[in-house]
Homo-oligomer: A and B are copies of this chain.
């Protein structure tokens, strides 16, 4: 048993906890970079809270996924304005952007110097500016991870800026903030959280600590994703989903992921598609491929026992089988109108390029067994169409 575990210094969770924001920013400085998704109606009250607390907020908006050039520009702007700290209020993209901007406020090299894969991957030399992360979707768990996923349009990839000090100082998770999330986003983000829990649990790099978070996250999630999807103001379901998302972030940041996220990174760099939906399209075939490969080549792998445990948890039955669980995953995707990869513009001819890129993705290293090119190809091929043919294309 060997592991390392790190997280945000402080996690505050609960309905209405946004009211603690004035207290949390005390002593952090006079000027705040308020990083948001740019929805004025949502951001207005946060802006006011900061002003009432005697802080001068400067708003920085992120539309869609954070692009490297945009982040570099916003960070330079925040530096010029003399921002002392960052409040990131939004979905996973916004939180990632906020974490990157907090790091770049004090680390003033070119952004490319700090990027993995396409840049120099240099470590940060200075502590990032304080960062308070306030997620408004239940999906990525980015409030407790130590990387920011940025999209380089130039290179056609998603890459991470990563450092232990990029963990936000405070993760403030208020489920009430997620009540107004529309169903399609609830589905996409919630499926991402669910798949993160599954992959972190099965990961080669899983630890007893990450196992604890995965078990508790999957157990508490229960049927809450579907409940939140069909009834946005089901606060109990929203709360469970925020908790599941938080657990998924705590787990993946310390235990890695697997083949679904290994694919989702390159696909996200090459095609415009909601991350959670891409992951969900891949999930049933990926689960089947892992199951088959483990049984054939590594039947003693503890991931098989964990698959069995997941089956019992998601089907809430001590006699559930892995086969039944995979069927359940397909039905879950169908219920939430998960499309096939084809619906994102991916064709047969794209498969070899995606396989080549995915093999080097950092998430792939967590997969419990190394999959062959044939197996990776099978997953993509099987995922081109919605899990249950012809049913789930309404989403687009």
Q: Could you tell me which A residues sit within 8 Å of B by CB distance?
A: 1-7, 9-15, 17, 164, 167, 175, 207-209, 211-213, 215-216, 220, 239-240, 243, 247
- A120 CA to B208 CA, complexed, in Å: 40
Q: Is the CB of A243 within 8 A of B1?
A: yes
Q: Which residue of B lies closest to A220 (CB)?
A: B208
Chain B residues with Cβ below 8 Å from A209 are 11, 213, 216
Q: Is the CB of B4 within 8 A of A13?
A: yes
- A211 CA to B167 CA, complexed, in Å: 23
Q: Is the CB of A7 within 8 A of B4?
A: no
Q: Which residue of B lies closest to A242 (CB)?
A: B1
Q: Which residue of B lies closest to A6 (CB)?
A: B10
Chain B residues with Cβ below 8 Å from A211 are 216
CB distance from A157 to the nearest CB of B (A): 29
Q: Is the CB of B13 within 8 A of A3?
A: yes
Chain B residues with Cβ below 8 Å from A247 are 212
- A13 CA to B240 CA, complexed, in Å: 30
Please, could you name 28 A-B residue pairs with CB atoms under 8 Å apart, sorted by A? A1-B14, A1-B175, A1-B239, A1-B240, A1-B243, A2-B17, A3-B11, A3-B14, A4-B10, A4-B12, A5-B10, A5-B13, A6-B9, A6-B10, A6-B11, A7-B7, A9-B164, A10-B164, A13-B207, A208-B216, A208-B220, A208-B243, A209-B216, A211-B216, A212-B212, A212-B216, A212-B247, A215-B215
Chain B residues with Cβ below 8 Å from A5 are 10-11, 13
Known: A3-B13, A4-B11, A212-B213. 6 other contacts (CB 8 A): A2-B13, A3-B11, A5-B13, A9-B164, A212-B215, A212-B247
- A212 CA to B201 CA, complexed, in Å: 14
Chain B residues with Cβ below 8 Å from A13 are 1-5, 207
- Scoring A9, A207, A213, A240 by chain B CB atoms within 10 A of each residue's CB, the highest score goes to A9
Q: Which 9 pairs from chain A and chain B are nearest by CB?
A: A2-B14, A212-B216, A212-B212, A5-B11, A6-B10, A1-B239, A4-B12, A3-B13, A208-B243
- A209 CA to B207 CA, complexed, in Å: 16
- A206 CA to B163 CA, complexed, in Å: 31
- A212 CA to B246 CA, complexed, in Å: 13
